[in-house]
Amino acid sequence: MTVTRDEALNIAKVLTEALPYIQSFKGRTIVIKYGGNAMTEDRLKESFAKDIVLMKLVGLNPIIVHGGGPQIGELLAQLNIESHFVGGMRVTDSATMDVVEMVLGGQVNKEIVSLINRSGGRAIGLTGKDASLIQAKKLVVEQPSEVLNSPEIIDIGHVGEVTAINREVLDIATHSDLIPVIAPIGTGDQGESFNINADLVAGAIASALGAEKLILLTNIEGIQDAQGSLLSTLDENEVKSLIDSGVIQGGMLPKIQCALDAVANGVTSAHIIDGRVEHAVLLEVLTNEGVGTKIGGLV
């Protein structure tokens, strides 16, 4: 395909704009939570894989943590296993946990690995059970009780929270040409499996590695103000003000808290970006404009 002189100049301008970001982030780790439309639409899947391969080739160290809720729900329905949720979390009994491991550790994980490898990368699929990568414990869920003086404990089964990250296997990957693709399944002290929210796993891994960036792909433009305008950068106080005023609410609250926790624990900046945009990750990391909201960080 031939390009015009103007098109060639525009390509050169884009590459030049990316140069200082590549220089700043070379050798640094960027943890990306991959989910939403970016994980289900073919054109977005292809652009995401190419973004990851390019990042690795120019010296950045991407680590991917993926979700898979819709795929889990689809297989459960096919198996006539009913899905139940408490506070947005899937109640995970033993039968459901088997399906979670099958879908996340098998189907979804291997598809992402294959996409990256077909784009020229060297991806390696992992779950949190590999080398005890994600150590976890049962998540305790409480809700107010109308008849008890203390909160009521709700048992949601094999749903966990991260207690520790074994960074050894990730250090090996980041010092090689391998790209880790991680399913958010944790392992307990007795070898039991736990289904863990992928945002929280990504945040825990980013914190454990002292990552340069935590990037959370979503199906929205980013964080917006009360008038619906995108807020491209926010600090902790501004975020808390938006929460207190009710501008940030509902399903965005856990993502925001995940971002705040990561920055508080040593991650340079956290980004909530629009995964519906092609090449969203590259646009956020290597251009002046970006495609979402950055929390913390100077660059």
In a domain, 1, yes or no: no
Per-residue pLDDT of 231-247, as tens digits, reads 888 888 888 889 888 88
Q: What is the DSSP letter of 64?
A: E
In a domain, 253, yes or no: yes
SS3 content of the chain, % helix, strand, coil (to 5): 40, 25, 35
In a domain, 283, yes or no: yes
By percentage, how much of the chain surpasses pLDDT 70?
94
Domain that holds residue 95: 25-287
The DSSP code sequence of 170-210 is: HHHHHTTT-EEEEE-EEE-TTS-EEE--HHHHHHHHHHHHT
**Domain tally, the chain:** 1
In a domain, 112, yes or no: yes
Q: The domain spanning residue 130 has which CATH number?
A: 3.40.1160.10
Per-residue pLDDT of 124-172, as tens digits, reads 999 999 999 999 999 987 766 555 566 667 788 899 999 999 999 899 9
Reference 165, options 139, 180, 195, 186; nearest CA is 186
Mean pLDDT estimate for the chain: 89
Q: Which residue in this structure is represented by tokens 């031939």?
A: 2
Per-residue pLDDT of 95-122, as tens digits, reads 999 999 999 999 999 999 999 999 999 9
In a domain, 227, yes or no: yes
In a domain, 7, yes or no: no
Q: What is the pTM of this model?
A: 0.91
In a domain, 3, yes or no: no
Burial 145-172 (b: 16+ CB within 10 A, else e): eeeeeeeeeeebbbbbbbeebbeebbee
pLDDT band at 68 (very low <50, low <70, confident <90, very high): very high
Per-residue pLDDT of 190-213, as tens digits, reads 999 999 999 999 999 999 999 999
In a domain, 4, yes or no: no
**Average confidence (pLDDT) over 276-288:** 91
Distance CA 91, CA 102 (A): 16
Distance CA 158, CA 108 (A): 20
Per-residue pLDDT of 121-137, as tens digits, reads 999 999 999 999 999 99
